[in-house]
Structure 1
Amino acid sequence: MHSPHVLFASALVLAAGTYAFRLAGPMLRSRLTFPPHMERLMETSAIVLLASLVATTGMMEGHGLAGVARPAGVAMAGVLAWRKAPFLVVVIGAAAVTALLRLIGAD
């Protein structure tokens, strides 16, 4: 096991690197320009990445499918978010659908 000093120094280095990386975005934004089609591609790729994250965490449990309740809750959250419901309503709606389906045994 590593000494506490090494772990603390590692945490400080990672924190400084993260801060520098996050600071570089706003500082370099005015200096770098991308063609319009490249900006659209980056926006689309961010949406695709988020959708894939939602799909894998919402539909899978371990190496198998999560059943019916969780994907139904994710679908409800998607519909409520699409309808521009407040975040709290989205979370409560998704939790309620999931809980009700689990209550009736639809796991």
Structure 2
Amino acid sequence: MSYAEVWLVIVGCAVLTVLIKACGPVLLGGRTLPATFTRVVTLMAPTLLCALVVTSVLAEGGSWSVGAQTGGVAVAGVMLWRRLPLVLCVLVAVLVTAGIRAVA
């Protein structure tokens, strides 16, 4: 793939993103969404984030696997569930991941 093709894809994605983001205000025209749609839209961001975390933690190439990063994320998830500070959770997750990689 040449540099021109790469930049064409980047510009195309940027234009498509702007068009998609502009569709909401244009189609709604100042009207408010019904409560059902508002609840669905509110849940979309956390759902997408969960999907991204799961695939990045459990996917290795083209297959599913459990590795050191899975242990780190699991420990951080439990710590966040217990409402510990985010910086502490990230630090402990890094240490757990590094420890598992050092042992394995």
Q: Fold match, TM over 0.5?
A: yes
- With the length of structure 1 as denominator, give the TM-score of the two structures: 0.64
Instruction: Map 1:1-107; keep pairs closer than 5 Å.
Output: 4=4, 11-12=10-11, 14-19=13-18, 21-22=20-21, 24=22, 31-62=30-61, 63-67=63-67, 69-82=68-81, 83-86=83-86, 88-105=87-104
Q: Which runs of 5+ in 1 are unaligned?
A: none
- After TM superposition, the runs of 4+ consecutive aligned structure 1 residues lying more than 6 A away are none
- CA–CA distance in structure 1, aligned partners of residues 9 and 44 of structure 2: 32
- CA–CA distance in structure 2, aligned partners of residues 7 and 57 of structure 1: 24
- CA–CA distance in structure 1, aligned partners of residues 49 and 3 of structure 2: 38
- CA–CA distance in structure 1, aligned partners of residues 92 and 98 of structure 2: 10
Measure how far apart 1:96 and its partner are: 0.6
- With the length of structure 2 as denominator, give the TM-score of the two structures: 0.65
Aligned residues: 101
One-letter amino acid of the structure 1 residue matched with residue 30 of structure 2: R
Q: Which runs of 5+ in 2 are unaligned?
A: none
Cα root mean square deviation, aligned: 3.2
One-letter amino acid of the structure 2 residue matched with residue 78 of structure 1: G
